[in-house]
Amino acid sequence: MQENERELVKRAQQGDRRAFGKLIQKYQDKILYLAYDLVGNYDDAQDIAQNAFLRAMNGIHAFKAQSSFSTWLYRIVVNLSIDYKRSVKRKKQLSIDEPTSDDMEQSYKEILNENDKLPDEITELKDFEYHVQRIVETLPQNQRVAFVLRHYHDMDMPEIAKVLNCKTGTVRSHLFRAISKLRTSLKEFERS
């Protein structure tokens, strides 16, 4: 943990709201992206990120600095995302993984802004990205979280182990299984 961040955490634990505000500014984008990667819906990700910061603010006094502040915060986001996904399953709502009209509109805008690729290449790339995302969303919870943290958020194995509260070997196992499932599914995608 950087010295500056340690000082901010210490001040936040003493009730300094400005210090906590600086921590929020530092991590707000990363937390939002992580929540989005885990739940697949921007509006829900915003709610989860906001709840994560509220939970962190209310629990900052319990932070013991045994891990970095970011690892502690990521763990809160992962837990909230898991809880959210469970509640959606219980309610048997429509899948949150289906793209909304806003998501599709954004994707079309991104496609239209691609000047260096041919339309067929853009379509093929978008199909591939969509397929990979769908596969990741079907992975078991710990495999999905480990994969997202490692490959979307560049976290190392020990840090992922702290977030998942498991051993580094278990993280390796989750990643190995996730990648094996991705490879199998991608081979089927390439054949079709």
Domain chopping of the chain, boundaries: 1-96
Gap between the Cα atoms of 59 and 61, Å rounded: 5
- Give the pLDDT confidence of 75-128 residue by residue, as tens digits: 999 999 999 988 877 665 444 444 443 444 444 445 445 455 566 666 777 777
Evaluate if residue 4 carries a pLDDT over 90: no
Gap between the Cα atoms of 35 and 142, Å rounded: 15
Q: Is 66 helix (H, G, I), strand (E, B) or coil?
A: coil
Model-level pTM?
0.74
Looking at per-residue confidence, does 191 or 95 come out higher? 191
- Give the pLDDT confidence of 12-62 residue by residue, as tens digits: 999 999 999 999 999 999 999 999 999 988 999 999 999 999 999 999 988
Gap between the Cα atoms of 187 and 192, Å rounded: 9
38: which residues sit within 8 A by CB, 6+ positions away?
45, 48, 77, 78, 81, 82, 85, 144, 145, 148
Gap between the Cα atoms of 181 and 132, Å rounded: 11
1-96 has which CATH code?
A: 1.10.1740.10
* The token pair that represents 79 in the structure block: 């837990």
